[in-house]
Amino acid sequence: GQCVAVCPTGALTEIDETTKVIRRLADSSKTVVVQIAPAVRAALGEEFGYEPGTLVTGKIVAALRRLGFSYIFDTDFAADLTIMEEGMELLGRIKGHLAGDKSVRLPILTSCCPAWVNFFETYYPDMLDVPSTARSPQQMFGAIAKTYFADKIGVEREDMVVVSVMPCLAKKYECQRKEFSTNGNPDVDFSISTRELAHLIKEANINFGELDDEEFDNPLGYSTGAGVIFGTTGGVIEAASRTAYELYTGKELVDVNFMELRGFGGIRTATVDFDGLKLNIGIASGLGNARLLLDKVRSGELELHAIEIMACPNGCVGGGGQPLHHGKEETIRRRAEALYRADAEKPLRKSHLNPYIIELYKEFLGAPLSHKAHQLLHTHYYKKEQNSGH
């Protein structure tokens, strides 16, 4: 992911994608839907003179409406969906393991960072059954938008364009993976970065600072606090723990803050207690740290149940598509704090309580890990040759 930030072909892709988005917005035969990733709301303001860590969510929604998007949705919704699928997968593997099933592979590894996925497909081909098969929130969003939501509003798949705003440059390549297309039509058509969105807003002469806050559209715009913290290191595994705890123990989790999973060390380990069941969790951010952690798992030196890995140091808040932070860790830290604040302010903070997620399963998917959920929300990994590029 990060190599892309300094790679000239990456820059060309950026220009290209923004132009294509502008063209689709001008085409009245297209319904253009946009999703924004969690880390974007904690950083975009910096491009307009706000202090790092200022949440500008409502202004982003307002700006996207002025730019002409038909529906403004939230990747956080899809993050809640990711937790449903990944959380059930985690529980399934743990129960299998406890029952002595030798075919069950632990630890389970999070799979929402495409730069990391690319990395383990290249360097850990012997461990391709370790990652969760759950697609990233970006891709889950696209798959649901172009089926469930397109059906709801009576739009054909070919007439819907899905754009994502991501803190990330690797997300552009993720959209191009053939697993995420149906008959050559990608689930997510274009991914633009936080910086590119800032550029679009400036080009359109929108006075960002003067915009009044607006709300996301529904049903794909509603999320719990668990979906928001996906944007920082440790957030995915904390979100998963909130849901997995309740589903495993059948008890209410009163304090949802897993403080032991938060922090900024490049490699961390912690134990969470599921009512007597102790789960060992590993967290790494930055590819060098990820490699160190995974090598210890491969050699058997570390025994973990679940691992979260993000390619960018400190997770997506520090992503290669974010406003430049010039190596200032304080900037990244403040963005992460903003996401924990947004989480704390949400009325619901556990993914499985999201009423629109519940509705989606009831009306369309059936249950987590159902046949339909597997088709739309899960993926496969492939052994990649070293130096094969993207």
Q: Which of 319, 335, 360, 376 binds ligand SF4 (CB under 6 A)?
A: 319
Cβ proximity to ligand SF4: between 147 and 285 the closer is: 285
Angle between helix 194-203 and 57-67 (nearest 10): 60
Cα separation, 46 vs 326, whole angstroms: 13
Q: Any catalytic annotation for residue 179?
A: yes
113 contacts ligand SF4 (rule: CB under 6 A): yes
Phi, psi of 286 (to 5 degrees): 95, 135
Cβ proximity to ligand SF4: between 79 and 168 the closer is: 168
Q: Given the DSSP bridges, would you call strands 181-182 and 185-186 parallel, antiparallel or unpaired?
A: antiparallel
Catalytic residue among 86, 238, 246, 308: 86
Cα separation, 185 vs 380, whole angstroms: 19
> Cα separations (Å) of 101 from 84, 108, 370?
23, 15, 22
Question: Going by C-beta distance under 8 Å and a sequence separation of 6 or more, which residues neighbour residue 278?
Answer: 271, 272
Cα separation, 292 vs 299, whole angstroms: 11
Catalytic residue among 59, 171, 172, 350: 171
- What is the pattern of x (binds ligand SF4, CB under 6 A) and - over residues 267-306? ----------------------------------------
Catalytic residue among 46, 47, 89, 196: 89
Cβ proximity to ligand SF4: between 106 and 316 the closer is: 316
Cβ proximity to ligand SF4: between 211 and 310 the closer is: 310
Are the CB atoms for 115 and 311 separated by under 8 Å?
Answer: yes
Q: Which of 60, 163, 170, 365 binds ligand SF4 (CB under 6 A)?
A: 170
168 contacts ligand SF4 (rule: CB under 6 A): yes
Cβ proximity to ligand SF4: between 194 and 241 the closer is: 194
60 contacts ligand SF4 (rule: CB under 6 A): no
Closest distance to ligand SF4 from the beta carbon of 170 (Å)? 4
Q: Any catalytic annotation for residue 70?
A: no
Are the CB atoms for 81 and 357 separated by under 8 Å?
Answer: yes
Q: Any catalytic annotation for residue 14?
A: no
Catalytic residue among 47, 112, 191, 196: 112
What's the token pair of residue 42? 């904690």
Pick the piece of the chain touching ligand SF4 (CB under 6 A) from 22-30, 40-48, 309-317, 374-382. Answer: 309-317
312 contacts ligand SF4 (rule: CB under 6 A): yes
Instruction: Answer whether the bond into residue 368 is a cis peptide, omega within 30°.
Output: no
Closest CA to 25 of 149, 155, 161: 161
Closest distance to ligand SF4 from the beta carbon of 212 (Å)? 29
> Cα separations (Å) of 227 from 38, 82, 107, 349?
8, 9, 22, 8
Q: What residues are annotated to the active site?
A: 86, 89, 112, 132, 171, 174, 179, 316
Query: Where does this chain bind ligand SF4 (CB under 6 A)?
Result: 1, 113, 115-116, 167-168, 170-171, 310-312, 315-316, 319
